[in-house]
A and B are shown apart, each in its own frame.
Chain A
Amino acid sequence: MENNKNFVVGIFDDEDILLGAVGNIREKGVKIHEVFSPFPVHGLDEVLGYKRTRLPIAAFMFGLTGTSLALLMQIWMLGYDWPMIIGGKNFASLPPFIPVTFELTVLLSAFGMVITFLIVSDMKPYKYPRQFDLRSTDDKHVMAIDLDNNRLNKDEISRILKDNGASEVNEKNF
């Protein structure tokens, strides 16, 4: 789908220099494609202007589904489908149903959220990611700038990257 794209790739050694650089570069009107880091850099999503993820909402909805399904299942099975007297208790009473309800809430919430995460991040076992620099999982922060998306040319962007503390600037074509 995205063929023959040209990128300028800036390499940063330090997360604090990177954070400052992202702000300055965006102020100059350069659009950053993405920044790849070996570890989560706190505050990076804010300076890049990303909206907060809605995954917590997904987790809550999956959890709510778990709670309702578990309660419905237990009340229907022991209360209506095949009622039995156990220890002289009510057929469908809430307190003994709480443990299973809780466990199923957690189970559905956790699995639903993680599967949603894998889908929205487009992560699959058979997929090779597009890599701008192999050192981005080792010890470098890698900033990729899509030339087709920017008005400035290659040399101008390279100069801005260098001025803002990039230790190397490379080109990458896909």
Chain B
Amino acid sequence: MHATSSVREPLITGGKTVGNVSEDISRQVEGKPTQLWWMAFGVSFVFLLYGLYCICFLLWNGVGVWGLNKTVGWAWDITNFVWWVGIGHAGTLISAILLLFRQKWRMSINRAAEAMTIFAVICAATFPLMHMGRLWLGFYWALPLPNAFGSLWANFNSPLLWDVFAISTYFSVSLVFWYLGLIPDFAVIRDRAVRMGHQTRANIYNALSFGWNGGAKTWMRYESVALILAGLSTPLVLSVHTIVSMDFATSIVPGWHTTIFPPYFVAGAIFSGFAMVLTLLIITRKVFKLEDYITIYHLELMNIVIIITGSIVGIAYITEFFIAWYGQVPAEQYAFYNRMQGPYWWAYWSMMTCNVISPQLFWVKKIRTSIVATFVLSIIVNIGMWFERFVIIVTSLHRDYLPSSWSMFHPTMYDIGEYLFTFGFFFCAFLLFAKFFPVINMAEVKSIVKSSSEKKH
């Protein structure tokens, strides 16, 4: 019943018992936030406010305040959109795909990774909404609603409309999956609050836990629901970035018109998502003293996923180049030659260094088990993945078919400000989550204490 190979490293260190798990993880919800938390929240909030100002300016004056021009009609907005959606993918991969594969190491990290997914998808969604200019009409344009044109319905042949459905379904289903996992843990905090005599807190967390009782029948149904949600989320997460990639792949712009985009985008998404999970968790485990639950072994396993997906991305880059040469279409060949040698060569080579070369360092065990190296490389990977989207989008557009239309893209402070807004929002939301919600799935971790915890010596 409880068979775990002795060769495997323990998933929980420090000789923890089931009772310790509730204590260690509920502590930060029950206590006052630390000074470090307030400082981080303050900085994020300043970014959020500055970004909000930039958004208001954009909505008042129109999309013209961005650096877009007639040739480069899509730049930072769609780059940031794809970047954030990609980051979101790791959460679902960890919670759904690793659940189907029965990987127990997901249990300590899935809660924070799913929270990251939800906030990242919200950040992503702000960019297309802002690009609409009049975002209050966004629902009207994007959803198939009866309208004053007679009714001229939304175009279901368009990948941009598929995107609306994919992203909103992904967001709602991820939110439900995440919340379902939180329900038993809210009940833990409720019962601890009752025992400590905090009636108000008990009432709030009881409402949040939907009056969870933890009966065997409820657990049976709950596990069945979780398994099916995992089964539904697995194709869902793969479909989301597939559809995002079709925004480009179904067009006829050289450099975008590529059939390998769907798998290549999905691999890139998981690659950047795991990097962001690492960045966040390395900080979280330190600040909340969760080193016994999120161990070096967890970080190492995530780094291995980064090697695999990073290598897939590297192969995809090379394949694109090979096919551009082999396909013998002059426009396609020029697009790829221009990426490497054109005015945006620096973006291309940043992408290659960060995404193809840097993750290969994780083959060395010393590097992939070092916290400092992992932290630095996780940030480098995300810089690389931002450049990947920038390279695909801007360098494919800026050399138009007519040389008289050739141009460059220069971001304005409003492009930059709205990117900063999403960072501010993302970190504010994550900090609030880490303060008020249990950052580790207690119920799941408790179920492996007996089999996978390091024994006290």
Q: Which of B190, B191, B219, B442 contacts A44 (CB 8 A)?
A: B219
- In the assembled complex, how far is the CB of residue A122 from the closest CB belonging to chain B, in whole angstroms? 8
- In the assembled complex, how far is the CB of residue A67 from the closest CB belonging to chain B, in whole angstroms? 13
**Contact between B18 and A55, CB atoms less than 8 A apart:** no
Counted as pairs of residues, one from A and one from B, with CB atoms less than 8 Å apart, the total is 194
- In the assembled complex, how far is the CB of residue B48 from the closest CB belonging to chain A, in whole angstroms? 29
B69 at the binding interface (Cβ < 8 Å) = no
A sample of 23 cross-chain residue pairs with beta-carbon separation below 8 angstroms, ordered by A number, consists of A16-B450, A34-B216, A38-B18, A38-B442, A44-B219, A59-B228, A78-B153, A100-B162, A104-B165, A106-B173, A107-B172, A110-B173, A110-B229, A120-B221, A121-B218, A124-B211, A125-B207, A125-B208, A125-B210, A129-B212, A130-B213, A134-B194, A139-B446
CB 8 Å contact bits of A52-95 with B (1 = contact, 0 = none) = 01011001000000000000011001100110101101000000
* Cα distance, A36 to B217, chains bound together (Å): 9
Taking CB atoms, residues of chain B closer than 8 Å to A74 are 156
Which residues, 1 to 59 on A, are CB-close (under 8 Å) to B? 14-16, 34-45, 48, 50, 53, 55-56, 59
**Contact between B221 and A55, CB atoms less than 8 A apart:** yes
Closest to A108 in B: B169
**Contact between A137 and B188, CB atoms less than 8 A apart:** yes
Q: Quick one: given A16-B1, A81-B151, A113-B228, are A139 and B17 in contact (CB under 8 Å)?
A: yes
CB 8 Å contact bits of B147-186 with A (1 = contact, 0 = none) = 0001111111101011001100100110011001001100
**Contact between A82 and B150, CB atoms less than 8 A apart:** yes
* Cα distance, A114 to B181, chains bound together (Å): 12
CB 8 Å contact bits of A124-151 with B (1 = contact, 0 = none) = 1111111100111111000000000000
**Contact between B225 and A113, CB atoms less than 8 A apart:** yes
Which residues, 327 to 361 on B, are CB-close (under 8 Å) to A? none
A123 at the binding interface (Cβ < 8 Å) = yes
Q: Quick one: given A45-B217, A128-B206, A134-B194, are A103 and B222 in contact (CB under 8 Å)?
A: no
Closest to B22 in A: A138
* 10 smallest beta-carbon distances between A and B, as pairs: A129-B213, A127-B211, A139-B18, A123-B210, A139-B19, A99-B162, A77-B153, A39-B447, A125-B207, A39-B446
Taking CB atoms, residues of chain A closer than 8 Å to B208 are 125
Q: Which of B194, B211, B217, B224 contacts A56 (CB 8 A)?
A: B224
- In the assembled complex, how far is the CB of residue A141 from the closest CB belonging to chain B, in whole angstroms? 9
Taking CB atoms, residues of chain A closer than 8 Å to B228 are 55-56, 59, 109, 113
Most chain A CB neighbours (cut-off 10 Å) among B2, B216, B235: B216
B interface size (C-beta, 8 A) = 68
Closest to B166 in A: A103
Taking CB atoms, residues of chain A closer than 8 Å to B192 are 138
* Cα distance, A113 to B216, chains bound together (Å): 19
Closest to B210 in A: A123
- In the assembled complex, how far is the CB of residue A102 from the closest CB belonging to chain B, in whole angstroms? 6
CB 8 Å contact bits of B197-217 with A (1 = contact, 0 = none) = 000000000111011111111
- In the assembled complex, how far is the CB of residue B448 from the closest CB belonging to chain A, in whole angstroms? 9
Q: Which of A41, A123, A135, A138 contacts B211 (CB 8 A)?
A: A123
Closest to A60 in B: B228
Which residues, 3 to 40 on B, are CB-close (under 8 Å) to A? 17-19, 21-22
- In the assembled complex, how far is the CB of residue B339 from the closest CB belonging to chain A, in whole angstroms? 28
Taking CB atoms, residues of chain B closer than 8 Å to A114 are 176, 180, 225, 229
**Contact between B173 and A107, CB atoms less than 8 A apart:** yes
Taking CB atoms, residues of chain B closer than 8 Å to A130 are 213
Identify 14 new A-B residue pairs, CB closer than 8 A, beyond the known A42-B1, A77-B154, A82-B153: A16-B2, A36-B213, A38-B22, A45-B216, A77-B156, A97-B156, A102-B235, A107-B173, A110-B176, A114-B176, A125-B207, A130-B213, A137-B22, A137-B212
- In the assembled complex, how far is the CB of residue B157 from the closest CB belonging to chain A, in whole angstroms? 4
* Cα distance, A106 to B173, chains bound together (Å): 8
* Cα distance, A121 to B17, chains bound together (Å): 29
**Contact between A81 and B153, CB atoms less than 8 A apart:** yes
Taking CB atoms, residues of chain A closer than 8 Å to B225 are 55, 113-114, 117
* Cα distance, A103 to B171, chains bound together (Å): 11
Q: Which of B1, B144, B187, B219 contacts A73 (CB 8 A)?
A: B144
Q: Which of B165, B191, B215 contacts A100 (CB 8 A)?
A: B165
Taking CB atoms, residues of chain A closer than 8 Å to B21 are 139
**Contact between A53 and B210, CB atoms less than 8 A apart:** no
B369 at the binding interface (Cβ < 8 Å) = no
Which residues, 203 to 257 on B, are CB-close (under 8 Å) to A? 206-208, 210-225, 228-229, 232, 235-236, 239, 243
B320 at the binding interface (Cβ < 8 Å) = no
* Cα distance, A166 to B239, chains bound together (Å): 49
* Cα distance, A138 to B344, chains bound together (Å): 57
- In the assembled complex, how far is the CB of residue A144 from the closest CB belonging to chain B, in whole angstroms? 9
Q: Quick one: given A77-B156, A103-B239, A113-B228, are A137 and B184 in contact (CB under 8 Å)?
A: yes
**Contact between B191 and A40, CB atoms less than 8 A apart:** no
B454 at the binding interface (Cβ < 8 Å) = no
B304 at the binding interface (Cβ < 8 Å) = no
B308 at the binding interface (Cβ < 8 Å) = no
B444 at the binding interface (Cβ < 8 Å) = yes
Closest to B444 in A: A39
**Contact between B446 and A110, CB atoms less than 8 A apart:** no
Q: Which of A15, A53, A137 contacts B224 (CB 8 A)?
A: A53
Taking CB atoms, residues of chain A closer than 8 Å to B191 are 131, 134-138
* Cα distance, A113 to B172, chains bound together (Å): 14
**Contact between B210 and A40, CB atoms less than 8 A apart:** no
Taking CB atoms, residues of chain B closer than 8 Å to A128 are 206, 211
Taking CB atoms, residues of chain A closer than 8 Å to B217 are 34, 45, 50, 121
Taking CB atoms, residues of chain B closer than 8 Å to A39 are 18, 184, 443-444, 446-447
* Cα distance, A15 to B447, chains bound together (Å): 9
Taking CB atoms, residues of chain A closer than 8 Å to B210 are 118, 123-125, 127
